[in-house]
A and B are shown apart, each in its own frame.
Chain A
Amino acid sequence: GEDVEQSLFLSVREGDSSVINCTYTDSSSTYLYWYKQEPGAGLQLLTYIFSNMDMKQDQRLTVLLNKKDKHLSLRIADTQTGDSAIYFCAERGGFETTDSWGKLQFGAGTQVVVTP
């Protein structure tokens, strides 16, 4: 998506932490999401953060949001080979208007490769 940008590739060693970055442009975004897509599979919702929060932690996942810079990151602790996938950042509009109506605007995805 032209309004959401991500780096395209990340290589990380098993056991290290991964950090995937994302920038967005729509200041009216209410929620920001991280989805995981494994090869040939659908989109798995990993986590999301409300736009008035700075941080959210969920087991090995930590989401950081810098609203001023419109920067979102996903940190995966103790990265495993099963974490190899494409990770999509997405921003969601509200349901106040029919222009947005909860639609997700996605980044191009970050391919994460975990090496032993």
Chain B
Amino acid sequence: DTAVSQTPKYLVTQMGNDKSIKCEQNLGHDTMYWYKQDSKKFLKIMFSYNNKELIINETVPNRFSPKSPDKAHLNLHINSLELGDSAVYFCASSQPSGNEQFFGPGTRLTVL
């Protein structure tokens, strides 16, 4: 039933490690996004994909590499994790012809 789902919900890891966060939507949307929410709750777009193609890359370090195997999935891989990467990462999806953008439950990443 969940429209936009993410795994894992919590991720605790050491600096320098590589980790992935997965996102899936069952809404049939063509566009998917990754947003980052920092410790002050500020939300900022990172990436936007439409129909598996990268559309927006908001000057995110190239340690972050999104991958969209199909329209329903947008995964986020992060190499060489840094302390400053600690945040909550939200996946979202929408339809270009639609008005609503739905968010997943978030993945809280803590880098030690």
- Docked pose: A50 CA to B98 CA in angstroms: 12
Q: Please tell me if B86 contacts chain A, counting CB pairs below 8 Å.
A: no
CB-defined contacts of A43 to chain B, threshold 8 Å: 43, 90, 92, 103
CB-defined contacts of B56 to chain A, threshold 8 Å: 98-99, 101, 103
Q: Tell which of A33, A101, A106 touches B48, judged by Cβ atoms closer than 8 Å.
A: A101
B99 touches A41 (CB 8 A): no
Per-residue CB contact flags for chain B residues 44-55 toward chain A (1 = under 8 Å, else 0) read: 110010100001
A109 touches B41 (CB 8 A): yes
B31 touches A101 (CB 8 A): yes
- Residue of B whose beta carbon sits closest to that of A101: B55
Q: Tell which of B45, B96, B106 touches A95, judged by Cβ atoms closer than 8 Å.
A: B96
Given contacts A98-B56, A101-B55, A102-B31, contact A45 B102 (CB under 8 A): yes
Given contacts A42-B105, A48-B100, A108-B40, contact A103 B90 (CB under 8 A): no
- Docked pose: A88 CA to B102 CA in angstroms: 14
Q: Tell which of A35, A42, A48, A86 touches B106, judged by Cβ atoms closer than 8 Å.
A: A42
The interface size of chain B toward A, counting residues with CB under 8 Å, comes to 26
Q: Please tell me if B101 contacts chain A, counting CB pairs below 8 Å.
A: yes
Q: Tell which of B41, B90, B102 touches A86, judged by Cβ atoms closer than 8 Å.
A: B41
Given contacts A98-B56, A108-B42, A109-B41, contact A41 B105 (CB under 8 A): yes
Give me the interface of B with A, judged by CB distance under 8 Å.
Answer: 31, 33, 35, 40-45, 48, 50, 55-56, 58, 90, 92, 94, 96, 99-106
Give 7 closest A-B pairs by Cβ, nearest first. A43-B103, A42-B105, A106-B43, A95-B96, A103-B45, A101-B55, A42-B106
Given A44-B103, A106-B44, 10 additional A-B pairs, CB 8 A: A41-B105, A42-B105, A45-B102, A50-B99, A102-B96, A103-B58, A104-B92, A105-B45, A108-B40, A108-B42
5 sample A-B contacts, Cβ–Cβ < 8 Å, listed by A number: A44-B103, A50-B99, A86-B41, A101-B31, A101-B48
Give me the interface of A with B, judged by CB distance under 8 Å.
Answer: 1, 31, 33, 35, 37, 41-45, 48, 50, 86, 88, 92, 95, 98-99, 101-106, 108-109
